[in-house]
Amino acid sequence: MPRQVSKTAWKGCAAVVRRVNWSMMKAIQTAFFDAKPYDREMFEMVNRGYGIELKYFDDHLNADTVPIAAGADAICLFVNDAVPRKVAEALAAQGVRLIALRCAGYNNVDLKAVYQRIHVVHVPAYSPFAVAEHAAALLLTLNRKTHKAYSRTRDGNFSINGLMGFDLHGKTAGVVGMGKIGRVMSGILRGFGMRVLAFDPFPDAAFAQASGCTYTDLPTLYREADIITLHCPLTPDNVQMINAETIAQMKNGVVVINTGRGKLIDTRALIHGLKSCKIGAAGLDVYEEETDYFFEDRSSAVIGDDVLARLMTFPNVLITSHQAFFTREAMANIAQTTLGNIRAFFEQGELPHEICYRCGEAACLRKATGKCF
Ligand code: NAI
């Protein structure tokens, strides 16, 4: 039976602790990076059923902070913790055996560098509804300008000048990446009465027939879509897939929504498209260089990133701080799956949600052995 963790045992173990005497502890020792108050609250609650030793640190994992993990069995990371080769080597030398990502995306880990050294697990799905609903919220806000209306009416300004939107009904949406989130999003968009074009390297004809969406190629999607929403992972092949060349292929006034990953968009090209009015609006939950800003309170600091600062000046750009996943249900699922992943690895030697750089390849060992190596 998993042990209960007493709250007092953890008092004082927060961010300032730099080195921890892990050897004094018996349970699975996990260094939890980039811990926010809402992470601690949810993980502490769910961990009552798992009894894993969690040490929370405010810091992001990077080459400077990697010593924090010395002696830990596992580390728990989020989207802006980075594991390039140098960090992977340091972690392996320190004896870390498992990287437990508490997110779906894994582009922040050099999977080749950790292969054969540290296993990597992630949370493949926690609530595709959370992310798709947020993408829809960005679209609706930008189109009907409710962000502006909110400020206006609170200020006693009841004018509707400049707030005109367009009917989504009858328009064409382009969904890039028809996985769990893309499929939920396509259902929402179909619910608005939109025609949905989808691009995915692995089209699913049965899903297309059942859902009423149409798989197509990217040039057609760019040419015909009134709104384009990105729901694919970031891979070496699609870095800055939205760039000057692809923006030029799009409809005038196209609305671009990105809840995928920031690097899917060349932000400078997006800004150019916004300035020329080629792009009608952009809803961004992710940003190319988000690491220094997103999830942090920078309200009393000067923004040193000129690209982000310029983006924030547009009235038709809505930026949210990588919060698409952030619902109660998703957070509970994330904690449950992450702690389950850690315990399964150390107690049963199982890796139900392992990933490696060969996933999907014919040579993938996981199909045969259940593990990536
Ligand atoms: P999934 O794995 O279920 O689906 C991804 C789909 O994208 C698959 O069907 C795959 O075939 C397709 N795909 C792969 N490469 C592609 C490419 N180059 N072009 C178009 N499609 C491609 O993943 P899921 O759960 O739907 O998540 C998608 C992405 O959303 C994640 O990789 C992550 O980057 C992002 N995400 C963002 C969150 C946020 O809070 N903003 C939260 C969760 C995920």
d(CA 30, CA 27): 9
Gap from CA of 233 to ligand 1 centroid (Å):
4
* Dihedral sign for Cα atoms in the order 258, 264, 267, 272: negative
pLDDT of res. 22: 54
- Whether residues 233 and 355 share a domain: the answer is no
- Whether residues 235 and 132 share a domain: the answer is yes
Which residue in this structure is represented by tokens 């963790």? 5
Q: Would you say 322 and 286 are in contact if contact means Cβ atoms under 8 Å apart?
A: yes
- Whether residues 77 and 90 share a domain: the answer is yes
**pLDDT (tens digit, 9 = 90+) per residue, 43-85?**
999 999 999 999 999 999 999 999 999 999 999 999 999 999 9
Q: Give nearest CA residue, ligand 1 atom 31.
A: 233
261 part of the active site: yes
- Whether residues 140 and 113 share a domain: the answer is no
| Residue that wins the pLDDT comparison between 190 and 1 | 190
1-5 contacts, C-beta under 8 A, 24 or more apart: 2/49, 2/50, 2/51, 2/343, 3/27, 3/51, 4/48, 4/51, 5/44, 5/47, 5/48, 5/51, 5/53, 5/54
Residue 237 lies in a domain: yes
- Best mutation site among 36, 108, 181 for ligand 1 pocket (most ligand atoms within 8 Å of CB): 181
Ligand 1 near 71 CB (within 6 A): no
| Residue that wins the pLDDT comparison between 289 and 195 | 195
Q: Would you say 190 and 168 are in contact if contact means Cβ atoms under 8 Å apart?
A: no
- Whether residues 49 and 89 share a domain: the answer is yes
Residue 101 lies in a domain: yes
Ligand 1 near 259 CB (within 6 A): yes
pLDDT of res. 3: 38
Provide the domain count of the chain.
2
DSSP string, 92-118: HHTT--EEEESSS--TTB-HHHHTTT-
- Tell me: pLDDT of 166 over 80: yes
152 part of the active site: no
| Residue that wins the pLDDT comparison between 348 and 363 | 348
Please report which confidence band the pLDDT of residue 8 belongs to, taking 50, 70 and 90 as the band edges. Answer: very low
- Whether residues 154 and 292 share a domain: the answer is yes
Please report which confidence band the pLDDT of residue 360 belongs to, taking 50, 70 and 90 as the band edges. Answer: confident
Residue 121 lies in a domain: yes
How do the residues of the chain divide into helix, strand and coil, expressed in percent and rounded to 5? Answer: 35, 15, 50
- Whether residues 337 and 287 share a domain: the answer is no
- Tell me: pLDDT of 176 over 80: yes
- Whether residues 108 and 138 share a domain: the answer is no
Please report which confidence band the pLDDT of residue 26 belongs to, taking 50, 70 and 90 as the band edges. Answer: low
Residue 80 lies in a domain: yes
Gap from CA of 184 to ligand 1 centroid (Å):
12
pLDDT of res. 368: 74
- Tell me: pLDDT of 367 over 50: yes
- Whether residues 90 and 142 share a domain: the answer is no
- Whether residues 165 and 277 share a domain: the answer is yes
Residue 13 lies in a domain: no
Ligand 1 near 176 CB (within 6 A): yes
| CATH code assigned at 185 | 3.40.50.720
- Tell me: pLDDT of 189 over 90: yes
| Residue that wins the pLDDT comparison between 359 and 101 | 101
For residues 316-326, give the mean pLDDT.
Answer: 97
| Residue that wins the pLDDT comparison between 131 and 17 | 131
Mean pLDDT of the residues in the chain: 92
In 3-state terms, what secondary structure has residue 190?
A: helix
- Whether residues 38 and 119 share a domain: the answer is yes
% of the chain at pLDDT higher than 70: 93
- Whether residues 156 and 83 share a domain: the answer is no
- In terms of residue numbers, what domain contains 146? 128-319
Residue 2 lies in a domain: no
**Packed helices 128-144 and 328-343: angle between N→C axes, nearest 10 degrees:** 150
Nearest ligand 1 atom to alpha carbon 128? 25
pLDDT of res. 2: 38
The CB-side HSE value for 139 (13 A sphere, CA atoms) comes to 28
Ligand 1 near 181 CB (within 6 A): yes
pLDDT of res. 141: 98
**pLDDT (tens digit, 9 = 90+) per residue, 85-131?**
999 999 999 999 999 999 988 989 999 999 999 999 999 999 999 99
Ligand 1 near 200 CB (within 6 A): yes
